[in-house]
Amino acid sequence: MLVSCVSGAQLSNYATFLTDPHMAPLSIVMTSLSTASAVFFTPTLSYLLIGKKLPVDVVGMMSSIVQIVVAPIAAGLLLNRFLPRLCSAIQPFLPPLSVFVTALCVGSPLAINIKAVLSPYGLSIVFLLFAFHTTSFVAGYHLAGTWFRKSADVKALQRTISFETGMQSSLLALALANRFFPDPLVGVPPAVSVCLLLPKAPPVAFISALSMNCFDYSLSNVT
């Protein structure tokens, strides 16, 4: 439930850039809007969906999302605006640092609950999350095709929206799970979601790009 309540992941921007570079600005705008709205919608949806079974601190979640998401983004924008040389100097070190921190965040709940993860309970979580992300990819693709069928570049738009709906900010869900739910098992689904999305995104982008190239090739043969 918590994974489904968070905003879109920045990984969708990268996947869109690989398949449809001209759609990357749209992807960034959608992710930015979903991230900004997460301050309100994530705690509210969590309360509505989880509140009957677990206590949900709505105000605390709002404050944490501001600290975890909004504040770092604002700080990064300000640093890039007023201290561009500093940003250029530290930029090469940020990707490996982010990978290292992500590995620590994901590995911790998985290591603590390794027996539960390897049990039938853990396998059911993996299956449910795989089905959730796959359904989100497919639903976003087909709904976009229905709503924007008259668009000149509908296929690229479908892929972009599919990436946005299929990739959630599972690390945010993991941070909220660790902060507001004492049971460490609550952090397992977001951690598993991260593990599923990281290897899943490149193949999805590759398949999308391959289908796009095949479509363009067949179209050129027809014309």
Query: Would you kindly state where each structural domain of the chain is located, as residue ranges?
Result: 2-222
56 three-state secondary structure = coil
Band (pLDDT 50/70/90 cuts) for residue 203 is low
Which pLDDT score, from 0 to 100, does residue 211 have?
A: 52
Rounded CA separation 148/124 (Å): 35
Quick one: pLDDT at residue 32? 85
- Compute CA 25 distance to the chain's CA centroid, rounded to the nearest angstrom: 17
Confidence of residue 102 (pLDDT cuts 50, 70, 90): confident
Task: Taking residues 111-118, report their average pLDDT.
Answer: 74
- Whether 31 and 13 have beta carbons less than 8 Å apart is answered as yes
pLDDT, one tens digit per residue, over 181-192 is 877 778 788 888
d(CA 118, CA 47): 29
**In 3D, which of 199, 159, 196 has the Cα closest to residue 174?**
196
Look at 219 and 88; give whichever has higher pLDDT.
88
- Supply the pLDDT for residue 223: 46
Per-residue burial over 71-93, b if 16 or more Cβ lie within 10 Å, else e, is: eeeeeeeeeeeeeeeeeeeeeee
Q: Does domain 2-222 have CATH number 1.10.3210.10?
A: no
Of 196, 187, 190, nearest in space to 134 by CA: 196
pLDDT over threshold 90, residue 121: no
Better pLDDT: 102 or 86: 86
Average pLDDT over residues 93-113: 77
Residue 19 has pLDDT above 80, yes or no: yes
Average pLDDT (5-32) is: 84
- The answer, yes or no, to whether residue 69 has pLDDT greater than 50, is yes
